[in-house]
Amino acid sequence: MTQLPLNGLVADRPAILSLSASDLEAWLVSHAAPAYRRQQVWGWLARGSASFDEMGDVPKPLRSELEREFRITSLRQIAVSEADRGLTTKTLYELDGGHSVESVVMRYSGRSTLCISSQAGCPIGCPFCATGKFPFGRNLKANEIVEQALDAVRLLGAEGRRLSHVVFMGMGEPMANYQAVVESVRRLSDPELLGISPRRIVVSTSGLIPRITQLGEEKLAVTLAISLHAARDELRDVLVPINRKYPVADLVAAAQGYADRTSRRVSYEWVLLAGVNDTERDAKELGRLLRGKLAHVNLIPFNPVDDTPYRAPERAAVRRFKGLVEAQGLTVTVRDTRGRDADAACGQLHERVMAERTKVSA
Ligand code: SF4
């Protein structure tokens, strides 16, 4: 892990993307520049520009004015961790006001995926999750979410790669920060900014039913992922505490309502915890819940988190559970466990850096 010194930037100027397209255009016009310069500036941001000065087709005096008034990004990198022989990069950012969030770039053949954070911390408090262990900080603003993607674009661009997929599976419950998440999805998919197809954007939720229904009305057609992890209320009440408010059967009904509206298959995420949710009973319950639905099951072998009672399953147990779920007539994949040496479970890099800072200041 590389810990980076804080770069001394003060949060005096707003980040350029904290302005909407129309607000930036109004600012340009008020500075005697044509509104179309906004598209040029966004184009440079989308190509990974790290400074206004790089924006060659923007007149120099305007570049200087932009530099005086705005920051390219509000995010400050404070730690970077690599794994999988450079295929996985995890970055910890400090936000204005001092909270921090993580994002993870995963490189595959033919695509590059960013796992993005939508909140600093998470109010849901799943007991197997590193993020759920520390106090909730705050919601991210839409620009802070998009800036994680722009930073990934810069990183990947330097390697001749493009950012092709974004998954909202980092820190936080995206649906608990609904407006900012929807706005950030619109910007990620805006052809004038990143132009990532909504089909390549996955928004996950632990199960906030009213927001799932609302998302179905947005005409966004992103892929919905449900962090299911258990198919019976008794177990899910423990693993995903929001289940006490929004039980499994209602959740699946809402998710399939989303599938009906968007014709998008719903992805059901299942973190496999050894001896907890990897039994034949679990597979049968899952089969009863999802059989015949426009659904896909994604098994995620648990990435061990300190101070939790949960253990990662053996490879053979993962294979066995996959077979049991397939036998229920469901489509199943096993997510590759990227970044075991990069603090890959969400919240782990934050936890480690904060622990080291506490040691240093003690
Ligand atoms: S697993 Fe997701 S919803 Fe649960 S505490 Fe962690 S970040 Fe929040």
Contact 346 CB / ligand 1 (< 6 Å)? yes
Per-residue b or e along 126-140, where b marks 16 or more CB atoms closer than 10 Å to that residue's CB: bebbbbbbeebbbbb
Reported pTM: 0.92
Q: How confident is the model over 140-157, as a mean pLDDT?
A: 97
CA distance 123 to 241: 10
Comparing 348 with 39, the larger pLDDT belongs to 39
CA distance 126 to 44: 39
Residue 361 pLDDT greater than 50, yes or no? no
Chosen CATH of 20-69 out of 1.10.1220, 1.10.730, 1.20.120, 1.10.150: 1.10.150
What is the predicted pLDDT for the residue at 268?
97
Token pair for residue 5? 């010194």
Long-range contacts of 120-126 (CB under 8 A, 24+ apart): 120/95, 120/171, 120/172, 121/171, 121/172, 122/171, 122/172, 122/173, 122/347, 123/173, 123/176, 124/173, 124/176, 124/206, 124/240, 124/241, 124/242, 125/241, 126/206, 126/227, 126/229, 126/239, 126/240, 126/241
Q: In the chain, where does the domain assigned CATH 3.20.20.70 lie?
A: 81-361
Residue 311 pLDDT greater than 50, yes or no? yes
Catalytic (active site) residue 122 = no
Q: Are strands 76-83 and 88-94 parallel, antiparallel or unpaired?
A: antiparallel
Atom of ligand 1 nearest to the CA of 122: 8
Overall fold of domain 81-361: TIM Barrel (3.20.20)
Residue located via tokens 């096993």: 334
From 65, 126, 346, 351, active-site residue: 346
Give the confidence band of 7 by pLDDT, cuts at 50, 70, 90: very low
Contact 58 CB / ligand 1 (< 6 Å)? no
Q: What are phi and psi of 120, to 5 degrees?
A: -90, 105
Q: In the chain, where does the domain assigned CATH 1.10.150 lie?
A: 20-69
From 102, 147, 173, 285, active-site residue: 102
Give the confidence band of 207 by pLDDT, cuts at 50, 70, 90: very high
Q: How far is the CA of 156 from the centre of ligand 1 (A)?
A: 27
What is the predicted pLDDT for the residue at 9?
46
Q: How confident is the model over 280-300, as a mean pLDDT?
A: 97
Token pair for residue 167? 């998954």
CA distance 103 to 115: 6
CA distance 5 to 14: 22
Catalytic (active site) residue 346 = yes
What is the predicted pLDDT for the residue at 362?
42
Contact 243 CB / ligand 1 (< 6 Å)? no
Closest CA relative to residue 296, chosen from 228, 199, 235, 243: 228
Which of 113-117, 131-135, 331-335, 354-358 has the least mean pLDDT? 354-358
What percent of the chain lies above the pLDDT cut of 90? Answer: 84
Between 209-216 and 178-189, two packed helices, what is the crossing angle to 10 degrees?
30
Give the confidence band of 6 by pLDDT, cuts at 50, 70, 90: very low
Contact 216 CB / ligand 1 (< 6 Å)? no
